[in-house]
Amino acid sequence: MPASVVLGAQWGDEGKGKAIDQLANESNWAVRFQGGNNAGHTIVLGDTTLKLHQIPSGVTSTHCNLVLGDGMVVDPWVLEEELDRWHSLTKERPEGKRLFISERASVILPFHRMYDSADKVVGTTGRGIGPAYRDRIERVGIRFVDIPFVIDDSDKIDETVSRMNMQLDSVGVNKKIGRKDFIADLKWIMDRFGDAIRPTGAMIDNALKNGENVLLEGAQGAMLDIDQGTYPFVTSSVTSRANATHGAGIHPGHVENCFGISKAYTTRVGNGPFPTELPYDTGPGNHMAMVGHEFGTTTGRPRRTGWLDMVSLRDSHRINGYTGIVLTKLDVLGGLDELNICTGYDLDGQIIDCMPTSSHDLARCKPIYEIHQGFPALKEQEWIDMAELSRSDRKGFEVLPETALSYVRRIEELSGIPIVSIGIGPDRRASIASLGGPFDVDPEVTTF
């Protein structure tokens, strides 16, 4: 059976958790392939809200195996917090049973968080992601498979502690890494997670050979890709489809579907150019922020808001080749008289339809908009009832208000990508699928 990929098609925070949760019900494996706990995926199950940072969003499907893949950087302390919350909710301890950590994944250590806290330019989450990836590239980082060997190598311990403290001093961090504490941390990781550390690439490959379904779960979004995004205001990993299989430890020929997740508008967290950005405190930008509860799952920071940017979405499609778009938070736009879609940029008087490579150029781009009629605001239950009607009467998107459906169809036209599902609320039931598409299944009502 083929693998499927779910990616953020914008600047992250698009609602990937809900889409992954829906697809995981039909999957045997859910695999995070990059990033770390700088990601934040939210899943709403009735009255229960799950906020996940490292555990794959497929955790709610109890038949689904979970993998923290080769391409990840994993913070063991944050992982323990997540697993403890999951245990308090469900009484399950999945680690070593259906949750596995790749032996090739890199370990985020206290040093990485301390070093990252000195960043004042990019606006990172401060979770140690970039420094951990930097250590990997410099070939001085510690992978999970390396931990026992490092513990037994006194020279390696001394060398690593010395390097860490010199680097902390170079960025003005006064705290130091102690030798005993460093060894104790490594021993704790092995004691706590040793049973879960596995050669996960081979495990996933065998699952595919046995006809099992594998879901490859991305973090962040296409415009935050270290190579293809709005550099230097990007994340520290390759967020694209090309890295999905590589970061999982399998070959790209396994992938059949690649779903891009896009909001019906655009948001961004952190610094960097954002051509369609709107004022946060007033007008449509404030409406999106307040109605959409636009605060970062990981950091709690307010998200910057703006109109849907088709220039960036088309570039995202060029990089990833989406077979379908999951359009999220359409309901948030309800109540606005007009909806704008950015179709191109004006860069110093020149009309362009692709994103400039330079962030300096992108910061000077003025959006060119086409205007669409808005649609009424509805209550959450009204949206859920609409979604239920779409399933029970086999109406698909036709249940949407006429002006909302027109907006959706125009997005399909401008992007050249079929929309396969539309999110109209945070609840698992609040989604409308295209008839006969991959999301055209009845959502399970799960309670804990």
Rounded to a whole number of angstroms, the distance between the first and last alpha carbons of the chain is 31
53 is catalytic: no
Please give the structure tokens belonging to residue 299: 């950091």
Task: Output the CA–CA distances (angstroms, integers) from residue 158 to 131, 144, 162, in the order listed.
Answer: 19, 19, 6
Q: ω into residue 418 within 30 of 0, thus cis?
A: no
* SS3 category, 127: coil
3-class DSSP assignment, residue 360: helix
- Rg, C-alpha atoms of the chain: 22
- The b/e string for 200-220 (b: 16+ C-beta within 10 A; e otherwise) is bbebbbebbeeeebbbbbbbb
Angle at 394 between CA 387 and CA 263, to 5 degrees: 40
List all residues 6 or more positions away from 10 whose beta carbon is below 8 Å from its beta carbon: 221, 222, 223, 262, 263, 266, 267, 268, 309, 312, 313, 316
Q: Which residue has the tokens 């990929």?
A: 5
**Tokens for 198?**
């596995």
Q: Which of 41, 112, 287, 317 is catalytic?
A: 41
Give SS3 for 164.
Answer: helix
| Inter-residue contact 256 to 214 (CB < 8 Å) | no
Cβ-count burial of 86 within 10 angstroms (0-12 exposed, 13-18 middle, 19+ buried)?
buried
Q: 419-423 and 431-433 as β-strands: parallel, antiparallel, unpaired? A: antiparallel
Q: Confirm whether 119 is a catalytic residue.
A: no
How would you classify the pairing of strands 366-373 and 41-45?
A: unpaired
> Token pair of 176, please?
């130091």
Which tokens belong to 135?
């250590």
Catalytic residue among 13, 21, 116, 331: 13
Place of tokens 């992938």: 255
376 contact partners, CB below 8 Å, separation of at least 6: 334, 335, 401
Decide: 44 and 69 in contact? Cβ < 8 Å: no
The CA distance from 260 to 20, in Å, is 11
Tell me which residues are annotated as active site: 13, 41
